[in-house]
Amino acid sequence: MKYSPHRHAVALALLAGLSPYLPAQAQTPAVPAVSAAASAADAINPNDPRLPLARRILKLWPIEDVGVVMVNRPAVAAMEQSRAAVQGRVVAEKQDRTLADIAKDVQKFIDEASPIAKESAHKLVEPTIVPLLLKNFSEEELKQIISLLESPVKKKFEDLVPVAQAVLGDKVAQDAGPAIKPKLQAMQQTVGNKLRTAAMTPQ
């Protein structure tokens, strides 16, 4: 099979469609009516009696997982779009081999980027999320969250979850993004090269 501009474009389209690290508008949830934006910048008062309660909530609430989610998102997108690209464009006997080869590159990205994102989220979670909790909840409300009782505050806390994840996600992206971006670009380039090679190989 000769070189096909159409198939080359397909490979380039795949690269263009891969999610960048922390996509902007598409992945930022709408901010509900809570005081979130300014809270992250507030300093933590070490004498605030609610501080131990807020820290206890962080131990019970796996919000740090947002870092891993941010790494997995473009990796999953890479595999999904790779599958779509090889179907009908790569001979059947080569499809599994090509995808398995691509999966190794994607996994390499996950293995290298996940520890960076985890470390960043762990470092930033308290200075980012504790001010949110202290600004939006009273001492009694924080106690109710910890005890996981059924109460009106449960809905208020659930409304804060996507906001807190978005705020921490922004912080992690700013902090870990420069270290993760080259790895993501390398993974995308390797995936694209392998798709182009597979598509251009004679059938």
Over residues 75-102, the pLDDT tens digits come to 988 888 888 888 767 787 788 888 889 8
Mean residue pLDDT across the chain: 77
Instruction: Of 70-74, 83-87, 145-149, give the lowest mean pLDDT range.
Output: 145-149
- How much is the pLDDT for 1? 41
Helices (H), the chain: 5-17, 51-60, 66-86, 92-136, 139-147, 152-200
pTM listed for this prediction? 0.59
Amino acid symbol at 35:
S
Q: Cα torsion for 129, 163, 36, 66, to the nearest 10°?
A: 30
CB 93 within 8 A of CB 201: no
The owner of tokens 């996509």 is 23
Q: Cα torsion for 32, 158, 49, 135, to the nearest 10°?
A: 0
- How much is the pLDDT for 151? 57
- How much is the pLDDT for 61? 82
CA atoms within 13 A on the CB side of 154: 6
- How much is the pLDDT for 133? 93
| Residue 132 C-alpha from the chain's centroid | 20
What percent of the chain is modeled with pLDDT above 70?
Answer: 74
Amino acid symbol at 74:
P
What percent of the chain is modeled with pLDDT above 90?
Answer: 29
Of 107, 109, 87, 108, which Cα lies nearest the Cα of 98? Answer: 87
Q: Which residue has the higher pLDDT, 145 or 202?
A: 145
Residue 112: pLDDT above 90? yes
- How much is the pLDDT for 54? 93
- 104 burial (CB, 10 Å; 0-12 / 13-18 / 19+) is exposed
Residue 162: pLDDT above 70? yes
Under DSSP, is residue 37 helix (H, G, I), strand (E, B) or coil?
coil
- How much is the pLDDT for 88? 66
- How much is the pLDDT for 21? 40
pLDDT tens for each residue of 1-48: 443 433 333 333 333 333 434 344 334 444 444 444 444 446 788 899
